[in-house]
Amino acid sequence: MAELISVIVPIYNVEPYLRQCIESIINQTYRNIEIILVDDGSTDKCGDICDEYAAKDQRIKVIHKKNGGQDSARKEGMKIAQGVYIGYVDGDDWIEPEMYESLYKLAKKSGALIVESGVIDTYTNKAVLRKPFYTPGFYSGKKFQDTIPTIIHTGNFFKHGIFPYLVTKLFYKDCIFKYQMMSEESNNLVDDVMCVFPCVINTQSIYITDECFYHYRIRNSSTKRSLRNDVADIIKANYSNWLKRFNAVGYEKSIQSQLNFFIMYLLASKAIYIFDLNQSDLCLIPYGGIKKSSKIVLYGAGAVGIQLYNYISNSDCCSIVYWADKNYSSFSDLDVKSPENIINIDFDYLIIAIFNRDAYISAKKSLISMGINENKIRWIDEKYLNNPKLLLEQCNLFNDSKI
């Protein structure tokens, strides 16, 4: 008989998307599932929608709780989960009908304790497949150990070896339970990351498929794109504890090096202000340092671009004279325009606010072909990409013993 899969769904104020999410789980071709809907103190009608579906489908359980964030909601779901396997879906996303049947079959056929799949980044007018970095197959023993040096950071800024998402995976419950229930002190900053990576590295049993089942809805209003002022303090307080979670013997040096790259990524994408605090004439230090009051064209309106736009707009750093993205039509609620007009703008520097190196290279080539002066184009300085410790030391967040 097929084993029970528990699907945990943290929900907070996602009323416009929740029905699509729930129905995508209800309609899974794998039928032996329990669906745990955790209403995390929603102030819209999410709670009512959860109860409505529970009345229709006996596989659905509903938890109503005080708002505590996504991680706390997942913990409450885990407490009552009865499944042999655990899956996760966020309340504003949805999944393909065959997701859990496919992942379960791969787990049973291979003996893997975790199964990883791809993700479908879903915009208003398009969908983009993101497949895993590693070649499809079962990774354990020596084959798994060979992935350790690239599992968090592949060397391509910034690209993970394993996706840092709970939602793209099926976990054997006994493997994920410990890490899901660990104390979460980061205020939902890296709750996925510090659950997924320690679990995967210590389990050392994962099957990777390049099939994509999970629809990640790209929303400009997502909490992942909101400006936060606590990032640097959270990192300083939790860095040592994060490192301790990776307790697989013999990998400490490799994991710490990759974790430093990840911390640099977090700071540069969510707390770039920390690098500029002691600067009198320069700002945007990760981008090589730019003279204050310079006129900036910002290229990129994804999560990194929005964070950078918010920072520059709310500081005395520089002035943004134009904001562009090749998918500008997808950002109707933002002041984002076509890149075609950049050539007509008077500016000092163009910052490419994209953290994937391949995407950056493609964007740079396109901009140069339009006639943009290459010397005006800035991205993360190569010296920091080669050694993130150089940038981390400028923050004065850590002493040498920690990094």
What is the per-residue pLDDT for 226? 57
Report for 44-48, 216-220, 278-282, 314-318: range of highest mean pLDDT: 44-48
Of residues 132 and 396, more confidence is placed in 132
Whether 225 has a pLDDT exceeding 70, the answer reads: no
Domain-wise residue ranges, the chain: 5-218, 220-403
Q: pTM for the whole thing? A: 0.92
User: Contact, 299 vs 320, CB < 8 A?
Assistant: no
What is the per-residue pLDDT for 123? 81
In order of 53, 75, 137, 156, 202, the CA distances from 88 in angstroms are 18, 11, 22, 27, 20
CATH topology of domain 220-403: Rossmann fold (3.40.50)
Whether 253 has a pLDDT exceeding 80, the answer reads: yes
Average pLDDT of the segment spanning 340-346: 96
Average pLDDT of the segment spanning 41-52: 98
- Eight-state DSSP code of residue 34: E
Strands 290-291 and 169-172: unpaired
What is the per-residue pLDDT for 223? 42
What is the per-residue pLDDT for 103? 98
What is the per-residue pLDDT for 83? 98
Average pLDDT of the segment spanning 273-300: 93
Average pLDDT of the segment spanning 367-372: 97
Share of the chain above pLDDT 90, in %: 73
Share of the chain above pLDDT 70, in %: 96
pLDDT tens for each residue of 161-186: 999 999 999 999 999 999 999 998 88
Whether 250 has a pLDDT exceeding 80, the answer reads: no
How buried is residue 57: exposed, middle or buried, by Cβ count under 10 Å (0-12/13-18/19+)? exposed
User: How far apart are the C-alpha atoms of 310 and 226, rounded to whole Å?
Assistant: 9
Average pLDDT of the segment spanning 123-152: 94
Q: Phi and psi of 273, rounded to 5°?
A: -55, -30
What is the per-residue pLDDT for 251? 83
Whether 15 has a pLDDT exceeding 70, the answer reads: yes
For tokens 């915009």, what's the residue? 123
* 237-252 burial: b if 16+ Cβ within 10 Å, else e: ebbeebbebbeeeebe
What is the per-residue pLDDT for 285? 94
pLDDT tens for each residue of 139-154: 999 999 999 999 999 9
Q: Phi and psi of 378, rounded to 5°?
A: -120, 145
DSSP string across 326-385? TTGGG-TTTT-B-GGGGGGS--SEEEE----HHHHHHHHHHHHHTT--GGGEE-S-HHHH
User: How far apart are the C-alpha atoms of 309 and 282, rounded to whole Å?
Assistant: 17
What are the tokens at 398? 């850590």
User: How far apart are the C-alpha atoms of 370 and 195, rounded to whole Å?
Assistant: 43
Same fold, 5-218 and 220-403: no
What are the tokens at 141? 């023993």
What are the tokens at 87? 């899956």
Of residues 74 and 245, more confidence is placed in 74
What is the per-residue pLDDT for 220? 60
What is the per-residue pLDDT for 224? 46
Domain 5-218: homologous superfamily in CATH: Spore Coat Polysaccharide Biosynthesis Protein SpsA; Chain A (3.90.550.10)
What is the per-residue pLDDT for 149? 95
Average pLDDT of the segment spanning 255-282: 90
The mean pLDDT of the chain is 92
Average pLDDT of the segment spanning 333-360: 94
